[in-house]
Structure 1
Amino acid sequence: MELSELKIFLAVARKGSISRAAEELHCVQSNVTTRIKQLEEHLGTLLFHRKSKGVALTHSGHLLMNYAERIINLSREAEEAVSDQGEPKGRLSIGSMETTAAVRLPRLLAYYHKIYPKVELNLVTGSSKDSLWRLLGYQIDGALVAGEIDHSNLSAELAFEEELFLVAPPNITSIDSIENLKILVFGSGCSYRAQLEEWLRKTGKITYQVMTFGSIEGIMGCIAAGMGVSFLPRSVVERPHYQNLCTLFSLPSDVGKMNTWFVRRRNEKYSKALQAFVDLICSSRQ
């Protein structure tokens, strides 16, 4: 097997489509199809179920995907071990929650780019669950996530300490006056959403509707319009352009505090670019 074949295989597996994989790889669809068939013939097994729209991994395909990710990563590590001399350089992909990306990262990323201009930074936003999945799948190099980290293949360092508020429409004067409760949150896998729903269960407010959003602006705009409430960090809601759009309610310490962690894969050689990013986050807390 060649590395190029494994990279093509992984692109098809992740996209679930030969045509979309070809677009990502910047090559013609027929070339991708041929290389996949050659790989299947070499291994003597089908790697994909062909469907009317797209493809799906077979059992053998799932097995190969695990090995392929590890092989590609080891190849990259080998290259970095040999060439990672002098100043940080190369590609660095970081996963982050939307809230952290919007508030905590802009200045850090700008400063990082200024002092390490040879690093190609890539920021991928999503829920904590999504970021951990991408990290374990070798799609990103590190991730900023919230909540507890309990995985033997990951190591975590404290990045930020967040204070959470119950954020309600500006006309709400007390938590008890909130009726027809709607919670405005990010999708499943968001740590702040999980914290909010746990608090609702503890306080007996078990009847509520959920509205999901993809951005802070969407959530805050709908809170300002009186549509519902959310749990958000102080660093987000105390920005000047949000202060007149909502009412903030302090929360008990067991639900009102949440740490953001920077998570990396354990037991692998870290590039200078990644280590420099971690050092910058740690220094920002001092």
Structure 2
Amino acid sequence: MSLDIALYQLRTFREVARLGSFTKAARSLGYAQSSVTSHIRSLESRVGMQLVHRLPHGVRLTHSGEIFQKYAQQIFHVVDEMATALNPSGETEGRVTVGASALLLESRIGPLIRDCRYRYPKVQVSPRQLAISRAQEAVRSGEVDLALVHGECALGEAPAAGIVVEQLPDLEVVPVASAALLESPLLPAALASLRVLAVDPDCESHQVLVAALRREHGVEPAVIEAGSLGGARELARAGYGIAMLPAESVGQSEESSGLVVVPGLPHLRLSVRALWAGAESTRSAVTAVCHVAARVGREKAALPA
């Protein structure tokens, strides 16, 4: 069987599979939703089988779609290798999809993208939020080219076969809350009414905070998922709870806006790792981005407290 498939159709399929939605894929690619629907319908016609289940809210890959996704990722890897081989200047180039845990996404990805644009102008970084526990699976399936995650949950007992792991500079997190909390004459009572705001559900930092509040103040706070670093910051500022935020993002600007580091509660240093699939050459786009991530981590760690 000969398949006449265009790369733009494969790219559309990849986004639909990644996002689980025609609407979200259209928004990501800058297409009309009708174009995305047409691309997938055309693919299914050429392959001769259904690739996605149309659900009331989104789509899900069929068994054939999962097989098709695996080979589509291989095709894109070959295309990237071809582009590198045809690059006469030897300048690093390519598109790298970077999945990052919520704490890293909002504290280090911005500087990472800026630094990459300066050092590797032909490398395009495409960021997205990634659950820590899904890091290895996302890399193995090709959902992301590079995963930047913190904590021990990223690896479990050991990295899976074929997954390259590089240790990056640690991330320090500190307990942050509304300044009004510390001004309360009844601090233990005030603490008892607060929630612990979890940015990353898989991160151990909020569990350590719960244990410290139980041990030091005799309270048993509820844990609420804040969804993002920005969400946790706003909820903490409003007096709704305490969040473990990156120390590198907590400075004078936070203090002036009503947030302070809570004394007497633990500060943690969380390990940060980069994960990607297979051996990469030293000039590959993935390795280049990883090197920039390490540089950004070192610069952040060197900032004055």
TM-score, normalised to structure 1, is 0.76
Q: Gaps spanning 5+ residues in structure 1: where? A: none
Pair 207,136 (structure 1): closer, same or farther in 2 beyond 3 Å? farther
Q: How does 1:123-272 map to 2 (within 5 A)?
A: 123-129=127-133, 132-148=136-152, 149=155, 150-152=158-160, 153-170=162-179, 171-172=181-182, 176-177=188-189, 178-186=191-199, 188-189=201-202, 191=203, 194-197=204-207, 200=210, 203=214, 207-237=220-250, 239-243=251-255, 244-249=258-263, 256-269=268-281, 272=284
The residue number in structure 2 matching 1:36 is 43
Q: Counterparts of 1:242 and 1:105 in 2: how far apart (Å)?
A: 20
Q: Gaps spanning 5+ residues in structure 2: where? A: 300-305
The residue number in structure 2 matching 1:62 is 66
Pair 234,263 (structure 1): closer, same or farther in 2 beyond 3 Å? same
Q: What letter matches 1:39 in structure 2? A: R
Q: Counterparts of 1:262 and 1:48 in 2: how far apart (Å)?
A: 31
The residue number in structure 1 matching 2:288 is 276
Q: Counterparts of 2:96 and 2:138 in 1: how far apart (Å)?
A: 14
Q: Counterparts of 2:225 and 2:113 in 1: how far apart (Å)?
A: 28
8 Å Cα contact 1:223/1:246 also seen in 2: no
Deviations 1:121-163 (A, max 9, x none): 3332444345555433323322321012332232222222223
8 Å Cα contact 2:177/2:242 also seen in 1: yes
How far the C-alpha of 1:221 sits from its partner, in A, is 2.8
Which of the numbers 31, 49, 70 marks the counterpart of 1:26? Answer: 31
My pick for the range that moved more, 227-236 or 56-65, is: 56-65
Identity of aligned residues (%): 23
Q: Counterparts of 1:89 and 1:115 in 2: how far apart (Å)?
A: 11
Deviations 1:176-232 (A, max 9, x none): 55203411122534x2xx331255358577943333334433322322332111222
Pair 166,46 (structure 1): closer, same or farther in 2 beyond 3 Å? same
Pair 264,84 (structure 1): closer, same or farther in 2 beyond 3 Å? farther
My pick for the range that moved more, 146-155 or 168-177, is: 168-177
- Counterpart of 2:90 in 1: which secondary structure? coil
Q: Counterparts of 1:282 and 1:147 in 2: how far apart (Å)?
A: 16
The residue number in structure 1 matching 2:116 is 112
- Counterpart of 2:259 in 1: which secondary structure? coil
The residue number in structure 2 matching 1:76 is 80
Q: Counterparts of 2:292 and 2:21 in 1: how far apart (Å)?
A: 39
Q: Counterparts of 1:104 and 1:30 in 2: how far apart (Å)?
A: 35
Q: What letter matches 1:247 in structure 2? A: V
Pair 105,18 (structure 1): closer, same or farther in 2 beyond 3 Å? closer
8 Å Cα contact 1:84/1:272 also seen in 2: no
Q: Counterparts of 1:104 and 1:234 in 2: how far apart (Å)?
A: 12
My pick for the range that moved more, 85-94 or 142-151, is: 85-94
Q: What letter matches 2:159 in structure 1? A: H
Pair 249,158 (structure 1): closer, same or farther in 2 beyond 3 Å? farther
Pair 136,84 (structure 1): closer, same or farther in 2 beyond 3 Å? farther
1:14 aligns with 2:14: no
8 Å Cα contact 1:73/1:138 also seen in 2: no
Q: Counterparts of 1:3 and 1:231 in 2: how far apart (Å)?
A: 46
Pair 33,218 (structure 1): closer, same or farther in 2 beyond 3 Å? closer
How far the C-alpha of 1:32 sits from its partner, in A, is 1.8
8 Å Cα contact 1:18/1:33 also seen in 2: no
Pair 64,250 (structure 1): closer, same or farther in 2 beyond 3 Å? farther
8 Å Cα contact 2:192/2:220 also seen in 1: no
Pair 81,215 (structure 1): closer, same or farther in 2 beyond 3 Å? same
